[in-house]
Structure 1
Amino acid sequence: MASLKAGNLLAAREKFTRCLKAPVDRNQLNLGPLLLQEIVQHLESSVRPTLSTSFGEDILASLRELEDALCEASPVERPEGQSPSSILHQECLYYLNTYGTHLALISFYMRHDCMMEALTYLLNKDCPEEVFLEGVLQPSLERGRVGTLEGILEKLDPGLEACSRYLIASCQLLQRRGYFHTLYQLQQFMMDHVRAAMTCIRFFTHGASSYLQLGEQQRWLVRAKEHLRTYLQEQQGRGVGRRRSQVNSFRKAMSSSDVSRHMNTIELQLEVTRFLHRCETAASSKSPQTSTPSSKSGSSSPPTLFGGSPMKVEVACKVMLGGKNIEEGFGIAYRVIQDFQLEAQAVYMRAGQRLVRQRQYGAVRQLLKCVGESGTATKNDCDALILSCVSTADKSPADVSDRHFNDSRTGK
């Protein structure tokens, strides 16, 4: 270190060969031995280089360093075009290439804003994904340079095939950490439209506790549908995006029929959202104290069509009961039942039971009327609905419930 601190770079190189060795595995996720890190840190920070090749003067190295600090030394001759910083930069590269790991060298490039060199080296050496994540992605996230990273990757690898495994690993890391906006940015860059659509759907549902809030976030559903439409066009050969000379296996694939089915789900969810947002807005304007409809249920999310069958049944019930009357929402609810092949009778019975508990007996009659006119319900279905409502009404005052259900039964 004395030779290095004195600026005798060649002498320092020769001496360090005796105490440093190249790593057996350059893919290790560390920055190399502490001595190497100390050398690089010193070169990066404070060395004033000389081109002395005299090894016999090393004993006086510390003295020379002190003299240099006390008086202004005369300029040292150096090769034309090389500044002190470029000489030190090359010296760091010598030590890192000779004794360092891939991560150590890539981290050095990234510290000095040499992202192009870092990525070129990483691709040429076919480094593991972990080296990319720790050496390139992490500092890019910390410095807000993900956009720069994307631009350089596209320049080095226009088809993104060579770097696809790094991009996939990056998406997985971002998802685990919950960095969904950066994940979405990366998915758009990768033109991974199916996964981007999934992320948009997550943005739509995340953090919402009512359809008042979902209504404010419905733009994400529109974006999701656009991503799927673009994917469908590309699959059919009409895409105008990045060249697709090879099979882009790193992008999520989906059949045309599945894409169309998901687009229909999104479109129906948009219709549900607009309807329930309008209903909840009207209700909150009439009763300002209930402007946060989900306050009783804590942070529970409202049901959407992106859940399983039980949640879809809940959506159908919510739509059926959400309007000014049953007829207003029955059409949309009926479409939900038909599109997802839900058990219609189970939906009607659940809706009827809720109306009975709320003592909305007039609405029960409307429900029976709509079910009967739907064209798919039989007389037995209507009877089963009435019996279900009567069973629920047993817990209500008998004089009220019996009179209303007898009226419903006789059609009065």
Structure 2
Amino acid sequence: QHNSYYQECLFYLHSYGTNLAIISFYMRHDCMREALLHLLNKESPSELFIEGIFIPSYEGGKLHMLENLLETIDPGLESWGVYLIAACKYLQRKNYYHILYELQQFMKDHVRAAMTCIRFFTHGAKSYTELGGKQTWLLKIKDHLKVYLQEVSRSSGRKKMACTFRKKMSATDVSRHINTVDLQMEVTKFLHRCESSGTSQMTGSSLPTLFGNNNMKMDVACKVMLEGKNIEEGFGIAFRVLQDFQLEATDVYSKVAKQLVKRQKYSEIRQLLKCVNESGVAAKNDGDNIILNCLNEFKNIPAEDLDNLIQDMDSDENKVSK
């Protein structure tokens, strides 16, 4: 029971005040439930939720209390959907990713939560040694995606109104993402090991992962081949990256070969060609093209190594032209 002064203020606010003033008044007097119900009853815009309820809640350490009330008023959270999405966007703009992740978990918005975990994994890492220490995020991505798949398969049998605010994704896409995470785990373990053992030679400004665009994925494939003890060691993982994402394999192999020429590792180029030929999916001239790309770019390959590379060519015509 509130005193008469409180009632007077409330009467005045309801008569003359804005919705934000009313909501802020409720919040100041620890009447969060009333603030939320007022917001819903007036169908207030999401800015009002952010400014009047959400910001004061997390700044005052009452986010859990807010979440509990949202769930109590509407267990399915549907009536809060537009407000919760707005809160997520606000947190993203502010770079408050830890609060965002907590909110996404509360919302059971597993696909978006997985995307936030990807950011936690990749953001700010300067080496694969660092990424090696962040692999728990990869496990969390998988957990979110698996839970999402379970929920989708459970709800598909029931005739109920589809949830409107949680991000949707086809089962095929989810499975593909899970596969990407598995492959990224392998890449991370491999490159972490290479960095630890000192075989790693590449330094780049940005750290490529399989969560980037195709160019970045190609960089991952190159990195894996070049950073092992030899080409063969990383070829298997690189080959799977190329296959899974249907990348331009010849471009990647040529890029690797050029790096090997720069490092004067000519025998490794021959090993690369052997791996490519044995992979079973190389086109007839792939090996030749890799060598030709190298020869066109570098004129200073020692004669003996040059002869060896030319001998490795399949086409006599290419051999003669060189």
**Fold shared per TM-score above 0.5:** yes
Q: Deviation per CA, 1:182-232, whole angstroms, max 9, x where unpaired?
A: 111111111111111111111111111221111111211111111111111
Shift of 1:96: 1.2
Q: Distance in 2 between matches of 1:144 and 1:328?
A: 51
- The answer (yes or no) to whether the contact 1:192–1:252 under 8 Å persists in 2 is yes
Aligned to 1:150: 67
Q: How does 1:201-280 map to 2 (within 5 A)?
A: 201-237=118-154, 245-280=160-195
Q: How does 1:128-167 map to 2 (within 5 A)?
A: 128-167=45-84
Q: Distance in 1 between matches of 2:198 and 2:15?
A: 72
Q: Deviation per CA, 1:221-278, whole angstroms, max 9, x where unpaired?
A: 1111111111111111179xxx994311111111111111111111111111111111
Aligned to 2:278: 373
State the superposition RMSD in angstroms.
2.1
Farther-moved stretch of structure 1 (85-94 vs 274-283) = 85-94
Q: Deviation per CA, 1:309-355, whole angstroms, max 9, x where unpaired?
A: 11111111111111111111000000011111111111110000001
Q: Distance in 2 between matches of 1:168 and 1:338?
A: 36
Which one-letter code corresponds to 1:153 in the other structure? L
Q: Distance in 2 between matches of 1:141 and 1:246?
A: 31
**Structure 1 residue 335 corresponds to structure 2 residue 252:** no
Task: Work out which of the two has the higher radius of gyration on C-alpha atoms and give 1 or 2.
Answer: 1
Q: How does 1:341-352 map to 2 (within 5 A)?
A: 341-352=246-257
Aligned residues with identical type, % of pairs = 58
Which one-letter code corresponds to 1:87 in the other structure? S
**What secondary structure sits across from 1:237 in the alignment?**
helix
1:363 alignment partner, one of 258, 265, 268: 268
Q: Distance in 2 between matches of 1:195 and 1:318?
A: 29
Long gaps (5+) in structure 1: 1-81
- Closer, same or farther: CA 244–227 of 1 in aligned 2, 3 Å: farther
- Closer, same or farther: CA 211–244 of 1 in aligned 2, 3 Å: farther
Q: Distance in 1 between matches of 2:6 and 2:284?
A: 87
Shift of 1:379: 4.3
Q: How does 1:56-135 map to 2 (within 5 A)?
A: 86-135=3-52
Q: How many residues align?
A: 311
Long gaps (5+) in structure 2: 313-322
Which one-letter code corresponds to 1:252 in the other structure? K
Aligned to 2:288: 383
- The answer (yes or no) to whether the contact 1:386–1:405 under 8 Å persists in 2 is no
Q: Distance in 2 between matches of 1:283 and 1:140?
A: 49
Q: Distance in 1 between matches of 2:44 and 2:217?
A: 46
**Structure 1 residue 322 corresponds to structure 2 residue 227:** yes
2:109 alignment partner, one of 192, 204, 215: 192
Q: Deviation per CA, 1:27-86, whole angstroms, max 9, x where unpaired?
A: xxxxxxxxxxxxxxxxxxxxxxxxxxxxxxxxxxxxxxxxxxxxxxxxxxxxxxx7xx72
Q: Distance in 1 between matches of 2:159 and 2:75?
A: 10
Aligned to 1:406: 307
Shift of 1:120: 1.8
Normalised TM-score (structure 2): 0.91
